[in-house]
Amino acid sequence: MSAPDRTPPANAPVLAVENLQVAFRAGGREHLAVQGLDLSVSRGEVVGLVGESGSGKSVTGLALMGLIDAPGRVAGGRIVFEGRDLMGLSEAELRRLRGARMAMIFQDPMTTLNPVLRVETQIVEAITAHERVTAKAARARAREALVRVGIPAPDERLGAYPHQLSGGMRQRIAIAIALLHRPALLIADEPTTALDVTIQAQILAEAQDLCAEMGTALIWITHDLAVVSGLADRLLVMYAGRVVEAGPVAEVVEAPLHPYSAGLIGSAPSRNKRGARLAQIPGLAPPLGRRPPGCAFAPRCFNVRPDCSEPPPLVRRSGREALCRYPLSETVVA
């Protein structure tokens, strides 16, 4: 009998996540930092994951890469990547996937870069970790990788140490390393937050173009809705560990269903608000372990009702979803 064919269908998503639960132990108890998250992303698609600090978005990215360390753990759900359930893989099998078929870019490029090694050494090591190539071929690939992400004078940069380069240059190198093996999935966690607006725009355009060229599925994690609205195809809004709204980015931005999404949009800078005082969502997101029963956003919500103390239902409207008992029927953003 022949072995079963594990090749996923041609139209299958690159990544399919079902009911993801990520827990952290504190004070003798486990608390869910991510609850019931569903997510899929297809070849060449860009999905934005947006929310305030503490919403669970970065924890989600780490969980998808198999990088949750103690006292945290993936407590439940399925993560299916290219037809394989990552939850059933060993650490050695995950290491073979990381950097080759799936890669991650972090907010601080020094998470990726070694401060005591030249750029060339680091890129060559990243190449030879997954491929058997000659030193000459690896160096040529390293130079080509820098050219691809728009780094000028690539030979000079290859000989530099990370501290000799600007923040934007270091982030470009981190992106170049992440894309070396043309991964099927790229997760970018706030990679442009510390950069100036001009460099940020350049890196956003480069990431979008490179992923379109390679057919790479991209998950862009950010707190900045203005950044992701010009980049993503679909948007997932997270609050207190849950996805509270999901849908096509233009529809979510123009007519949010969840009051939290509306608050994020209303507090984002835009050209038509120049000179005006930005709106703010009142209060703070609840810390892990002290989230209220029912709707976690209720204490900060402008549309709150007495029965919002009960768990909110998942509402579906024309391909969109919102975790809200009283979803907005039209935009309320000024």
pLDDT in tens, 181-238: 999 999 999 988 777 777 778 778 877 887 888 899 999 999 988 888 888 999 999 9
The CATH number that applies at residue 294 is 3.40.50.300
pLDDT at residue 119, rounded to an integer: 97
The average confidence (pLDDT) of the chain is 89
Range of the domain at 22: 15-111+183-323
189 is a domain residue: yes
127 is a domain residue: no
Alpha helix positions (H), the chain: 57-64, 91-97, 119-128, 135-148, 154-158, 167-178, 197-214, 225-229, 249-254, 259-266
306 is a domain residue: yes
194 is a domain residue: yes
pLDDT at residue 3, rounded to an integer: 41
Q: How far apart are CA 101 and CA 98, in angstroms?
A: 6
Residue type, 272: N
Q: Please report, to the nearest 10 degrees, the dihedral formed by the alpha carbons of residues 222, 226, 232, 238 taken in order.
A: 40
Q: Which residue has the tokens 């703070």?
A: 284
259 is a domain residue: yes
151 is a domain residue: no
Nearest to 179 by CA among 227, 112, 235, 234: 112
278 is a domain residue: yes
Domain count, the chain: 1
Q: How far apart are CA 252 and CA 243, in angstroms?
A: 13
138 is a domain residue: no
Residue type, 174: A
- For the chain, residues with pLDDT lower than 50 are 1-6, 271, 330-334
Percent of the chain's residues with pLDDT above 90: 70
According to DSSP, residue 279 is labeled: P
pLDDT at residue 2, rounded to an integer: 40
pLDDT at residue 134, rounded to an integer: 94
pLDDT at residue 200, rounded to an integer: 79
According to DSSP, residue 196 is labeled: -
Residues 197, 200, 206, CA angle at the centre, nearest 5°? 145
pLDDT at residue 36, rounded to an integer: 96
